A and B are shown apart, each in its own frame.
Chain A
Amino acid sequence: MMVPLSWYLIFSAALFCVGLFGVLSRKNAVAILMGIELMLNAVNVNLIAFWRYRSPSFIAGQAFAIIVFAVAASEVAVGLALIISIYRRRNTVVADEIDMMKF
């Protein structure tokens, strides 16, 4: 018997939730971005799994996943650039200390 789709989905859900936990609970901003990366990867796994199990002849699933790759890459680049810029200004990467988004 092959691996049922549900295993992949459960796995990607778990990976997503771990990434979410990381985003919500890590102090270091770079660590938060790592969490985001995990989440994006979970999404990609989900996409490819669905492609493989539901409509392998329909190439849209892969195309979508490619786009997600590109977006993830660009987002990480920009995000890290921002973190570095903030680090230069405020000399910190602790997310709790970057609290200007208030009144």
Chain B
Amino acid sequence: MTPMQIIFILTAAATLSAAVLVVTTRNIIHAALWLIVSLFGVAVFYVLLNAGFFAVVQVVIYIGAIAILFIFAVMLTRRLMSDSGPQSNTNWWLAAVISVLLFVGLIWMLSSWRGVTGEPPVLKSNIDTIGLLGRALVSPDGFVLPFELASVLLVAALIGAIYVAWERK
């Protein structure tokens, strides 16, 4: 067992258990906090996959903005100071079945694919991944169009969110 594998397994375990806790815990603040943990775990995975930029982006955006947003939302929508009763609805078992089935299905699909077990190719050591990504995102024969569209989407979402949540007197 190489150190990479150990780190992987540990991080995976942590992330998955945090995720399970996110979806099962009663206290929704706790759920948000566990979400932060699982997001951190995912950031570690990004590092393991040589996508350092994404790890940083993950932490900054997801944890720094989105998770905080979640916490704000939770606080703004609390009816009572304490959560009451179980947080799962009546059909949770069906949801569990579906999820399990999906998981099994996915695994089974994966197992039939030959390329699934493979060594990662060796990276050149001085690849400027971020620079490449940056250039790809803004070059006309690259991905400038999706980039611009994504920015438009963000603007729209921004305006939309403000308008929807605007408190009318």
Contacts and interface: CB of A to CB of B under 8 A. Distances in A.
A92 B42 CA distance: 32
Contact of B79 (A16, A29, A63, A91): A91
B63 to A, nearest CB: 11
Contacts of A25: 23, 88-89, 91-92, 95-96
Nearest to A65: B54
Chain A contact residues (Cβ within 8 angstroms of B): what range? Answer: 35 or more
A74 B110 contact: no
B22 A74 contact: no
Contacts of A28: 28, 87
Nearest to A42: B42
Chain B contact residues (Cβ within 8 angstroms of A): what range? Answer: 35 or more
Interface string A59-103: 110110111011111111110111111011001110110000000
A52 to B, nearest CB: 5
A46 to B, nearest CB: 10
A26 to B, nearest CB: 6
B5 A78 contact: no
Contacts of B10: none
Contacts of B120: 2-3, 5, 52-53, 56
B119 A78 contact: no
Contacts of B147: 63, 66-67
A84 to B, nearest CB: 5
Interface in B99-115: 99-100, 102-103, 106-107, 110, 115
B51 to A, nearest CB: 5
B73 A80 contact: yes
A18 B5 contact: no
A71 to B, nearest CB: 7
Contact of B161 (A6, A49, A65, A77): A77
A48 B54 contact: yes
A96 B87 CA distance: 11
A63 B110 CA distance: 24
Given A5-B117, A37-B62, 17 more contacts: A2-B120, A13-B103, A15-B15, A17-B100, A19-B19, A19-B23, A24-B94, A34-B22, A35-B22, A38-B38, A41-B62, A56-B120, A63-B137, A63-B146, A70-B150, A77-B69, A81-B162
22 contacts: A1-B5, A3-B8, A6-B117, A7-B12, A11-B12, A18-B23, A21-B99, A24-B99, A48-B45, A56-B50, A62-B136, A63-B147, A65-B54, A66-B147, A69-B57, A70-B153, A76-B70, A77-B157, A78-B164, A80-B161, A80-B165, A87-B77
